[in-house]
Chains A and B, each alone.
Chain A
Amino acid sequence: MIASKKIVLIGHFGVGKTSLIRRFVENTFSEDYKVTIGVHISKKTLELSEDQSVSFIIWDLEGQDDIKKTRVSYLLGTHAFIYVFDLSRPSTFENLKSEINYLHENYSKIPLKVVGNKVDLVNKEYLTQYNDEFDDLVDLFVSAKNGSRVESLFSKLAKELI
C-alpha cells in the first residue's frame, strides 16, 4: 500500500524550507539562496514497512513574514504542516507563538511539526537562552546543511499520518 500525503512547509523567507526539502528529497545542500516563487512541488516515498509506504507530495511555498498572508487555497487538503524558523535569526521566531496559534485555530485537525532550522550555526548556550520560548512549541532542531534530524522529522510525520 502506498498512501499519498500532502505536506506543506511554511515559514518566513530564508529560514531554509527549500533547503530542508532538498536535503530530504535529493540529499543535497547548497549555500546559494534562490527565492522560491509561487509553489514548488516535490515528491519522495518513504518505506515504513514491507507493505506500507508513504508518498510525500511536498509543497514548498514562497516565504511569508506573516502566516496570515499565505494563500489559503494552497493549504486546502493538507495532511501535515511543517512550520520552519531560523534558529540563527530571532526575527523569524519572535512571533512564533502567535503564528503557531493561528495554525492551531484554523487547522486544528491537521498535524503540525515546528522545527528550528540551521542548528549547525548555533551552540548550546545560545539555545538555552531561548529554552522557555521553545520549550513546548518546538518539536525538533534540524539542519538542512548537515542533514541533522531531517530524515527523522519526515519519518516521524510518516508514522503519524498512517
Chain B
Amino acid sequence: MNQDEKLSIIKDILLTDEREFTSSIEKKIKSLEKTINEKEKLSGKVDPIIDDKLNNFIKEIPKTLGPTITKTLKEEIKNSQDAVVEALFPIIGKMIKRYIQHEMKLLSDKINTQVNNTFSFKGIFRKAKSKASGVNESDLILQELSNTKIEQVIIIEKGSGIVLAEFSKNITTDEDMVAGMLTAIKSFVEDAFKKESQNLQHIDYDLYHIHLQNFSSFYIAVVISGAYNIIYQDKLEDKILDFTSKQKVSDILNNKTLINQKLEDFFNDDSI
C-alpha cells in the first residue's frame, strides 16, 4: 500500500464516521426541534425540572438563611423589646390575613374542583375565542396575556339566570348560555357551601377569570382576560359599584337596550 492509498483509506474511514456522526447529530437536532416545536411536550419535560429546583430552593431556605435570621432576631429582641412588638404587630396582622387568604384559597380550590367535576363548562370560552381569531387552542394557552382586559359584561337576573343586559368585545360565546351556566354553578356552590356562607366571587375558566358581583335582584359577571389579582379585583368591584349607582341600574332593569348602551359606554375601555 502506498502513501496515497493509505491516505485514501484513512480518509474514507474518517469521512464515513463524520458522515455518520453528522447524520446522528442531525437526527438529534431534528428530534430536539420537534420537541421544541411541540411546546406542550417541552413544558411537560421542563416543568418538573423547574418545580424540582424551586422545591429544593424552598427546602434549603431554612438551612441557608435560617441561622442568620434567628441569630439576628434573638439579638434584636433582647436589645429592644418594645421596638420588636411594634415591628411585629403589622407582620402578625399580615400573617393572620395571609392565613385567612390561604384558607379562602383552599376553599375556593375545593369549590373549583367540585364545579369542574359537576359542570361541563370547560373549554367553551377558549373554543369560542380560537374560532373567532383563527389560532389553535394550544397556541392560545401559551400566549402570554400581559394586560388585563374586560372581554364581556353580563347583567344576570338572580335565580333564573336570564340575561338582563350584555356588552362584549371579541367574545363570541352565547351570553344566554354563559349566564345560565354561571347561575347554575353559583346556585350549586352557594347551596353546597351554605354552612361556610360562601358567596361565589369569581370563577376561573381556562384563559378567563369571571368576576361575579351580587346585587339584590341581579348579579354582574365580568369576563376578564389577563392577570386578575386582588388589586384588580378590588378596583373592578369599585368600578361596578360606581356603574350601578351612577346609572341607577336597578331602575332601568326592564330596558335592555338602554342598559346595553350604558354598559358599552362604561366598560368599553379597559381602564379601571
Contact = CB atoms under 8 A, between A and B. Distances in A.
Interface residues of A, number: 21
16 contacts: A4-B162, A4-B163, A38-B120, A38-B188, A41-B161, A41-B180, A41-B181, A42-B177, A57-B160, A71-B188, A73-B159, A73-B188, A73-B190, A73-B191, A74-B187, A76-B159
B176 interface: yes
Secondary structure type dominating chain B contacts: helix
Contacts of B119: 37-39
A37 B174 CA distance: 21
Nearest to A75: B159
Interface in B177-226: 177, 179-181, 184, 187-188, 190-191
Interface in B132-161: 157-161
A77 B180 CA distance: 11
A-B pairs, top 4 by smallest CB distance, nearest first, are A77-B160, A77-B159, A76-B159, A73-B187
B187 A78 contact: no
Interface in A32-64: 37-43, 55, 57, 59
Given A4-B163, A40-B120, 10 more contacts: A5-B162, A38-B184, A39-B188, A41-B181, A43-B177, A57-B161, A71-B191, A74-B184, A76-B159, A77-B157
B176 A57 contact: yes
Interface residues of B, number: 22
A55 B179 CA distance: 13
B161 A77 contact: yes
A22 interface: no
A76 B177 contact: no
Interface string B94-125: 00000000000000000000000111100000
Given A73-B188, A73-B190, A76-B187, A43 B162 contact: no
A6 interface: yes
A79 B187 contact: no
Interface of A: 4-6, 37-43, 55, 57, 59, 71-74, 76-79
Nearest to A45: B176
A21 B179 CA distance: 19
Contacts of A78: 160
Given A39-B184, A74-B184, A4 B176 contact: yes
A37 B118 contact: yes
Nearest to B120: A40
B206 to A, nearest CB: 18
A6 B159 CA distance: 10
B5 to A, nearest CB: 76
Contacts of A57: 160-162, 176-177, 179-180
B247 to A, nearest CB: 22
A33 B161 CA distance: 28
Contacts of A39: 119, 181, 184, 188
Contacts of B174: 43
B40 to A, nearest CB: 28
A77 B191 contact: no
Contacts of B191: 71-73
Contacts of B179: 57
Nearest to A5: B162
A5 B184 CA distance: 15
A112 to B, nearest CB: 16
Contacts of B187: 71, 73-74, 76
A65 B170 CA distance: 43
A71 B184 CA distance: 10
A74 B179 CA distance: 13
Interface in B38-61: none
A77 B117 CA distance: 25
A132 B181 CA distance: 40
A6 B120 contact: no
A59 B184 contact: yes
B160 A79 contact: yes
Contact of B158 (A38, A72, A74, A76): A76
Contacts of B184: 38-39, 41, 59, 74
